[in-house]
Chain A
Amino acid sequence: MKAADTLLQMVRSTDAIRAFAKRIEIDAAQLKKPLRVMEVCGGHTHAILQYGLDQLLPQSVKLIHGPGCPVCVLPQHRIDAAINLAWRPNTILVTLGDMIRVPGSQGISLQQTRAAGADVRYVYSPLDCLAIAADNPDKNIIYVAIGFETTTPMTALLLEQTQSKQLNNLFFHCNHVLVPQAMERILAAGGAVDAFIAPGHVSVMAGAKQYQHLAEKYRTPVVISGFEPVDLLDAVLRIINQVNSGVAEVDNAYSRFVKTAGNHKAQQLVATYFEPHDDFLWRGIGRIPGSALKLRSTFGDRDAEVQFPESCPAPTEEKPGNCLCGLILMGLAQPTDCPLFADGCTPQNPQGSCMVSNEGACAAYYKYRRES
């Protein structure tokens, strides 16, 4: 723990934070127009609000929150599928943490489904499914996989081990989504964002190279950042400097973990088991071609959508009602713009997914900023 400890102290050090804030203030004075920086990842949004980093930035630099919360972007029909699957006879439904809190179209979450009697479990590591499957040979174990490029390799590894151990009772409901496609959608829509802070954990796996074409095609700086105060301020400073010198490129402010090529082994594993999903609806954003992954058809006998089609409703566009999540995920609104925020909509009584998931922007504002 010792080395990690010093590193943590360094990236949280008060002196370093103050120094970066000062530098940002000086360099931002050179900006010709206000700069809108989107942090794509929900983890970044939380770190920014938790440490109050936005309070350290000058008026001319505005942080905009992005779509990088895997639970927030999951459409209700896929949550409905998970709930239906959980109610199948002899079934244990397994998923990751926050997924169990989001309500589907009937207002019921997996958590409530569990309280009503279904066997719903959450794991920290997807590989825990192996033990659950081995311990319950007479039951079907359905793993509802969710997450960006960070968690996909773990699902691929689970699938690999399921195959090699011949665990015929383990199935996958795949909801893995991809970051660059979502970023491109925001850039293509235009007008919301001048630069990106790209997610650290995702980039550890996928590599810095996956943002190259975005920086070039849309002339938009992309800086990869970690999750500590100094990491994020460093990323903001690098963006300001790119803008001031008229360049737009991919820069890696998280090089202690992220390599340009990413983790090759993880990428290969993912390519072996998954292929692009062409009909994936993002909640509040809509269809983005090739923005999600599904099991390759060779593994159809593992795919819950293939094996239990009657439990998996067809994609349907949702009506957002008064909830601004769609605009928030696209960078076009802030949580506090929503009239329901903290009033009609709270984490205990959420009206939209950005409030449900702990990683959502509305939840972060509610947690750290309400009434202060």
Chain B
Amino acid sequence: MTDTIQLAHGSGGLENQQLIHDLFFTAFDNPVLAAGEDAALIEGGRLAVSTDSFTVSPLFFPGGDIGTLAVAGTLNDVAMRGARPQHITVAFIIEEGVKMNMLIRIINSMREELAVSGAQVIAGDTKVVPRGVIDQLMINTTGFGTIVSDCNTRRIAAGDHLIISGDIARHGACIFAAREEIAIKGLTSDCCTLWPAIAPLLEAGLDVHAMRDATRGGISAVFNEWAQQTGLNFNLHEDNIPVSSEVRGFAEILGIDPYILACEGVFVMAVAAQDSAAVINLLHRHGHPRAALVGAVETTQGTATVLLHSAYGTKRRLEYPSGEILPRIC
């Protein structure tokens, strides 16, 4: 381990994962935590719980704000486990001097986002810290939901089809562009609550094995984590992965791989092959028109890898993201 915490330790990539495993999993070791899913199951497997802290600069961005994120992000983690999001706790850490009307605006977006899933805030906390201690505002939320069908990484099997629910990397690209003040027309965050898309799949009894929202580290982090946890190969067809022209343009200018950029309203699923067409069909009808079949899971003799296949017959690894995301120099 390094002597100091670096930004890379929080960026959803390799360093982040190492920190979690070497420090937290070791210190707090127990079977529920060790499962390593985005949401934990307690109460005999009936209740899914997930917690997340939110800090984003700028606080307001095209397509949402920190409030939208804090609600959607945590409830999505609950939904990805196959649970109906019902309750959420909210804790604010606010920097002295923050404008009241800004806070009101953020609270209003949280209320609007809660309405999408019908979840309710059941407890909260507020701390105000002296100017300069934090940058304006941080929010922590903890979400609770009741299990409809337990979706988890252990259920992923060779032969499963891989689906991505929409065009990737919009949130990451949008925040990056806003921070660097690069204007890209039409580039907005994809931030949204995913339960309305998940509910019909579970209600229809479709054989969904695992789901993960592709937040920090993008789809690359999800597939690599799955490969590591299952020991299986993940084969993806690059041409089928939905990417908007705005994100493509952004990636081109900065030399950044869209596969490692965060989504906040796009998720990845492993489903039984016979149900994949039905899953895609339902996703198309429930607000995710770009959902697509992108690949399949396979057994491997060697180390489990994520492979990207091009339409012209070449292939390459999709690497676990690592380090800070930095634009190229030349």
Bound: A157/B2 CA distance, A: 38
Query: On chain A, which size bracket covers the interface?
Result: 35 or more
Q: With a CB–CB cut-off of 8 A, which chain A residues contact B303?
A: 371
- A50: chain B residues within 8 A (beta carbon): 316
- List the B side residues contacting A98 at CB < 8 Å: 326, 328-329
Known: A1-B246, A101-B323, A367-B319. 17 other contacts (CB 8 A): A1-B186, A5-B249, A14-B311, A52-B310, A55-B313, A70-B330, A71-B329, A97-B326, A98-B326, A99-B329, A101-B324, A111-B8, A115-B6, A115-B7, A201-B330, A371-B305, A372-B315
User: What residue in chain A is nearest B177 (Cβ atoms)?
Assistant: A124
Expressed in whole angstroms, the minimum distance between the Cβ of B45 and any Cβ of chain A is: 36
Tell me which of A43, A46, A56, A71 contacts B312 (CB under 8 A).
Answer: A56
- Residue A267 CB within 8 A of the other chain: no
**Could you write out 11 A-B pairs with CB less than 8 Å apart?**
A8-B252, A41-B330, A49-B316, A97-B326, A124-B254, A124-B327, A359-B328, A368-B316, A371-B302, A371-B305, A372-B305
User: Can you name the residue of chain A whose Cβ is closest to the Cβ of B184?
Assistant: A1
- Do B15 and A1 touch across chains, with their CB atoms under 8 A apart? no
Q: Is the CB–CB distance between A202 and B307 below 8 Å?
A: no
Smallest beta-carbon distance B49→chain A, Å: 31
Contact of B255 among A43, A70, A128, A199 (CB under 8 A): A43
Name the segment of A134-142, A143-151, A288-296 touching the other chain. A143-151
Report the minimum CB–CB distance from B131 to chain A (whole Å).
17
- Given A4-B249, A98-B328, A367-B317: A115 touches B312 (CB 8 Å cut-off): no
Q: How far is the CB of A372 from chain B (nearest CB, A)?
A: 5
Query: Which residue on B lies nearest to A50, using beta carbons?
Result: B316
Q: CB-nearest residue of chain B relative to A131?
A: B181
B180 at interface, CB cutoff 8 A: yes
10 shortest A-B CB distances, which residue pairs? A52-B314, A97-B326, A14-B311, A368-B316, A124-B180, A115-B4, A55-B314, A17-B312, A97-B327, A367-B319
- Chain A residues contacting B319 (CB-CB under 8 Å) are 366-368, 370
A359 lies within 8 A of B330 (CB): yes
- Cβ of B5 under 8 Å from chain A: yes
Q: With contacts A55-B314, A124-B182 known, is A43 near B330, CB below 8 A?
A: yes
A116 in contact with B328 (CB, 8 Å)? no
- Set of chain B residues within 8 Å of A53, measured between Cβ atoms: 314
Interface centre among A111, A147, A359 (most CB of B within 10 A): A111
One digit per residue, 1 when the CB lies within 8 angstroms of any chain A CB and 0 when it does not, for chain B 287-314 equals: 0000000000000001101010011111
- Contacts of B302 on A, CB cut-off 8 Å? 371
Within 8 A of A (CB), among B117-150: none
Q: How far is the CB of B273 from chain A (nearest CB, A)?
A: 24
A200 to chain B, nearest CB (A): 10
Knowing A56-B312, A367-B317 are in contact, say whether A151-B305 is a contact too (CB < 8 A). Answer: no
How many angstroms from the CA of A356 to the CA of B221 in the assembled complex? 20
Residues of A within 8 A of B313 (CB): 55-56
For the complex, what is the distance from the CA of A371 to the CA of B310, rounded to whole Å?
18
Which B residues lie within 8 Å of A370 (CB)?
A: 317, 319
Q: Report B-chain residues with C-beta under 8 Å of the C-beta of A150.
A: 330
How far is it, in angstroms, between the C-alpha of A148 and the C-alpha of B330 when the chains are bound? 7
